[in-house]
Amino acid sequence: MARIPEVARHRVPPQATTTGHREGGEGVVSLRRAAVRVGGRTLWSGVDLEVGAGEFTAVLGPNGVGKSTLIKVVLGILPTAAGEVRVLGEAPGRAGHRIGYLPQRRNVDPSLRIRGIDVVRMGLDGDRWGVPLPLPLRFSARRRAARDRIAEVIELVGASAYARRPLGECSGGQQQRLLIAQALVRGPELLLLDEPLDSLDLSHQGGVAALLGRICRAEGVSVVMVAHDVNPILPWLDRVLYLAEGGAAAGPPQQVITTRTLSRLYGAPVEVLRAGDGRLVVVGGGHGTEGGGGHGHHHELD
Amino acid sequence: MSVFTAFDHPYFTHALLAGSGIAAAAGLVGYFLVLRAQVFTGDALGHVAFTGGLAALAFGYDLRLGLFAATVVFAVLIGALGSRGRSDDVAIGSVFAWILGLGAFFLTLYSTRGAAHGTAGVSVLFGSIFGLSAGQAKVALLAAAAICAAVALLARPLLFASVDEAVATARGVPVRALGLAFLVLVGACAAEATQAVGSLLSLGLLAAPAGAAHLLTARPYHALALSAGLAVAEMWAGLGLSYAAPRLPPSFTILAVATAVYLATLVTVRPRRGRTVTSRAVRGNVPGWPRL
C-alpha cells in the first residue's frame, strides 16, 4: 500500500491540461516480459507493453485470460511472477496518487443514498482522516480550490445536471460518467479503466467512449482500458494489447486485430472481418472448432 | 407531575447525560452500519452483549466489563471470520445463536445465587437507564465520547471504503483495517446501548435514526450529523415520556419514538427509485476481486 507523501496527498491537482504531454524518454506504463500467477496458475507471461503519454490503449481478450489482473498489476495490488513493470517511472503501487482507477462493477445499488458529487469528492480527499469541518468556504482556500476542481471535472464529464442526485438514482451511463469524474478529479497522468462500457446500453457506450477519447486527446491523460468490445473505442485507439491463452500481442490495432495474429493467439483459425461501417467482427473456427474458453462462432471482438 | 420536576431527581439527570452520549454514539455508528448493510451485525453484537454482561455478573465482575469485553472480542472475531473486514452472514448466524444459549446458561448460574439476582436478565435484555448511578452515567458518557471521537476520526476514509471498496484500496485506504476498527466500534456501541435500552433493543437505537437520516439527506456528512441529532432527540423525548408516564418503561418510549420517526420519514420521503435503505445497501456495487 503506497504511502503517499503528505504534500502530494493534500494538494489540489493542477488543471489537467497543464500536465499535458510529458517530454521525452520513459513510457507511462511499461511491461517487459511480465508474467503473473494467480492461485498457482500462470495467467499470462511474456507480456511486453509500452504506453506513451497521452496514448489510448485497449486491453482485449477472452474472459478469464487476466485482463483485470493486468490492471491490478499496474496498480501494484498484485505482484508479477516474472519480468519488469514500471508505472510512471516508478515501481507499481508507488505512483497511486497520479493514477485514476475505475474498477469493473455492476450497477450501483439503487438504494445508495449518497450524491454523485460526494462520490466524486471521495476521489479527491477520501483517503484523508477525519471529517471535513463545516467552516464557511471563505475561511479555507483549500476548500474553495477543492470545490472548484470538483465542479470543473463534473463539467468535463457532462454530469452537472445530475451530480447532486443520489448516485443510486442515476442511470448506468450517468453513474459511469460520475465515476470517471471521481477517477479524474486529482488530475491523474494515467487512467486505468476496467470494462467501463460493460454495464451500459449501446447508446450510452458511444457517449462514454467519446468522453474517454476526448479526455485522452484534449487532457493528455494516458488511458489503459480493459474492453469487452473494441468497436466503441476503435476511433481513439493508439494501441492494443491482446491477451489470449496462446500468448499476448501488442501494437497498433490494425496490426494486432488481424486474422493471422488472432489465429496464432487462440491457437485455432480465427477470422477478422471488417463490417461496412468499419466495425471489426471476429469469427472463430472455420471447421466448427472453437477458439477456446467457451467462445461462440460469431461474436464481436471479446 | 410535570416534566420540569424531572431534573430534581438525580436518576433522571444521570439517565439524560448517559442517554445523550449513548444516543449520539449509536447515531454516528448507525449511519455507517446502515450504509455498509451491516445492521444484522449490530443485532448479533447485541446478543453478545447480553451474554457478556451476564457472564461478568455470574463470575462476580462488573457488568460493564463483561459487556465491553464480549462485544469487542466478538466484533474482532466476526471481522476475522468474514472476508475483508466485512462480516459474513453465515459466520454471524452460526455463532450468535450459540452465544445467546450461553447467555441463558450464565443467567441461570447467576440468578440461582440469590433471589435478588432474579431480575438481572430482564435489565440486561431490556435496559435500566433510570437505574444508572452517577459513576455509571459518567463512565457511559466518557465511553460514548470516545466512540464519537473515533467515528469522527475514521469517517472520511470509512465512507470511501464503504461506498467504493476497490477504488479506496487502490488509493491506499486501509480498507480491511478500517472494516475491523468499525466492527469494534459497533461492538463498543452495542455494549453502551445495552446499558440504556438493553441488549435486545440496542439495534433500534443503531438502525432507526440512521435509517431516517439516510432517507432525509443524500449528503453523507449531513446525514451523519443528522443521524446523531435524531438519536439524541429521540432519547430525550423517550426519557421525558417515560418520566411523565411512569407505567411506560424508558426502553419502550425511546424506541417507540425512534421507530415512529423512522416510519414517518419512510412515509413522507420516498426515494424516487429503489427500495428502503435497510436493504443490502452497497454490496451490489463492489465487485469481488480478483474476478476474471
ipTM metric: 0.84
| Domains defined for chain B, CATH in brackets | 3-283 (1.10.3470.10)
Asked if A112's CB is within 8 angstroms of B167's CB, the reply is: no
| Domains defined for chain A, CATH in brackets | 25-257 (3.40.50.300), 258-302 (no CATH)
Asked if A4's CB is within 8 angstroms of B172's CB, the reply is: yes
User: Which of A109, A119, A131 minimises the CB distance to B281?
Assistant: A109
Question: To probe the interface with A, which of B34, B154, B156, B158 has the most A CB atoms within 10 Å?
Answer: B156
Asked if B171's CB is within 8 angstroms of A113's CB, the reply is: no
| Global pTM value | 0.85
To the nearest whole Å, the CA of A107 is away from the closest chain B CA by 6
Q: Is the pLDDT of residue B179 over 90?
A: yes
Residue A49, SS3 per DSSP: strand
* Pair A76, A92: CB distance under 8 Å: yes
Which residues, including other chains, have CB under 8 Å from residue A11's CB and lie 6 or more apart? none
User: In 10 A of CB B270, how many CB atoms?
Assistant: 11
Asked if B273's CB is within 8 angstroms of A110's CB, the reply is: yes
pLDDT band at A278 (very low <50, low <70, confident <90, very high): confident
Sheet with A280-284: strands ordered across: A270-274, A280-284, A298-300
Instruction: Please tell me the distance from the alpha carbon of residue A139 to that of residue A136, in angstroms, as a whole number.
Output: 6
Read off the pLDDT of each residue in B76-101 and give the average, rounded to a whole number.
74
Structure confidence at residue A48 (pLDDT): 93
Asked if A107's CB is within 8 angstroms of B284's CB, the reply is: yes
User: Which of B154, B167, B274 minimises the CB distance to A103?
Assistant: B167
* Pair B251, B127: CB distance under 8 Å: yes
* CA A152 to chain CA centroid, nearest Å: 21
Q: Is the pLDDT of residue B126 over 60?
A: yes
**Across all residues in chain A, what is the average pLDDT?**
83
User: Which of B174, B220, B283 minimises the CB distance to A1?
Assistant: B174
Structure confidence at residue A187 (pLDDT): 92
How many Cβ contacts (< 8 angstroms) between chains A and B?
149
**Across all residues in chain B, what is the average pLDDT?**
86
Q: Is the pLDDT of residue B277 over 60?
A: no
Q: Which three cell numbers stand for residue A249?
A: 500481442
pLDDT band at B40 (very low <50, low <70, confident <90, very high): confident
Q: Is the pLDDT of residue A136 over 80?
A: no
CA angle B86, B280, A105 (to 5 degrees): 80
pLDDT band at B84 (very low <50, low <70, confident <90, very high): low
Structure confidence at residue A288 (pLDDT): 40
Structure confidence at residue A8 (pLDDT): 37
Instruction: Please tell me the distance from the alpha carbon of residue B126 to that of residue B115, in angstroms, as a whole number.
Output: 19
DSSP class of A220? -
Structure confidence at residue B1 (pLDDT): 53
Q: Which three cell numbers stand for residue A203?
A: 447508446
* CA A243 to chain CA centroid, nearest Å: 16
> Which residues in chain B are contacts of A97 at CB distance < 8 A?
171
Residue A234, SS3 per DSSP: helix
Closest residue by Cα to residue A97 from A85, A87, A107: A87
Structure confidence at residue B180 (pLDDT): 94
Asked if B219's CB is within 8 angstroms of A118's CB, the reply is: yes
* CA A80 to chain CA centroid, nearest Å: 19
Read off the pLDDT of each residue in B6-16 and give the average, rounded to a whole number.
91
Q: Is the pLDDT of residue A53 over 60?
A: yes
Over residues B153-174, the pLDDT tens digits come to 999 999 999 999 999 998 889 9
CB burial readout A30-61, b (16+ within 10 A) else e: bbeebbbbeeeeebbbebebbbbbbbbbbbbb
Asked if A64's CB is within 8 angstroms of B152's CB, the reply is: no
Sign of CA dihedral B30, B31, B36, B39: positive
Q: Identify the closest residue of chain B to A102 by CA–CA distance.
A: B167
Asked if B223's CB is within 8 angstroms of A111's CB, the reply is: no
To the nearest whole Å, the CA of B110 is away from the closest chain A CA by 43
Q: Identify the closest residue of chain B to A66 by CA–CA distance.
A: B292
Over residues A234-264, the pLDDT tens digits come to 999 999 999 988 789 999 998 999 898 888 8
Over residues B139-154, the pLDDT tens digits come to 999 999 999 999 999 9
In the block, cell 450501483 appears at A108
Kindly give the pairing relationship between strand A82-87 and strand A99-102: unpaired
Q: Cα–Cα distances in Å, from B206 out to B5, B27, B64, B186, B193?
A: 30, 6, 19, 9, 8
Q: Where is pLDDT greater, at B69 or A276?
A: B69
Over residues A164-223, the pLDDT tens digits come to 999 999 988 899 999 999 999 999 999 999 999 887 888 888 889 999 999 999 888 999
To the nearest whole Å, the CA of A277 is away from the closest chain B CA by 31
Over residues B66-78, the pLDDT tens digits come to 999 999 999 998 8
* First-last CA distance in chain A: 32
Structure confidence at residue B88 (pLDDT): 64
Phi, psi (degrees; rounded to nearest 5) at A113: -100, 65
Give the type of residue at A232: P
Question: To probe the interface with B, which of A38, A112, A167 has the most B CB atoms within 10 Å?
Answer: A112
Structure confidence at residue B278 (pLDDT): 34
User: In 10 A of CB B7, how many CB atoms?
Assistant: 11
User: Which of B154, B215, B287 minimises the CB distance to A113?
Assistant: B215
pLDDT band at B292 (very low <50, low <70, confident <90, very high): very low
> Which residues in chain B are contacts of A96 at CB distance < 8 A?
170-172
Q: Is the pLDDT of residue A286 over 70?
A: no
SS (H, E, C) chain B: CCHHHHHHCHHHHHHHHHHHHHHHHHHHHHHHHHHCCCHHHHHHHHHHHHHHHHHHHHCCCCHHHHHHHHHHHHHHHHHHHCHHHCCCHHHHHHHHHHHHHHHHHHHHHHHCCCHHHHHHHHHHHHCCHHHCCHHHHHHHHHHHHHHHHHHHHHHHHHHHHHHCHHHHHHCCCCHHHHHHHHHHHHHHHHHHHHHHHCCCCHHHHHHHHHHHHHHHCCCHHHHHHHHHHHHHHHHHHHHHHHHHCCCCCHHHHHHHHHHHHHHHHHHHCCCCCCCCCCCCCCHHHCCCCCCC
pLDDT band at A137 (very low <50, low <70, confident <90, very high): confident
Q: Is the pLDDT of residue A1 over 70?
A: no
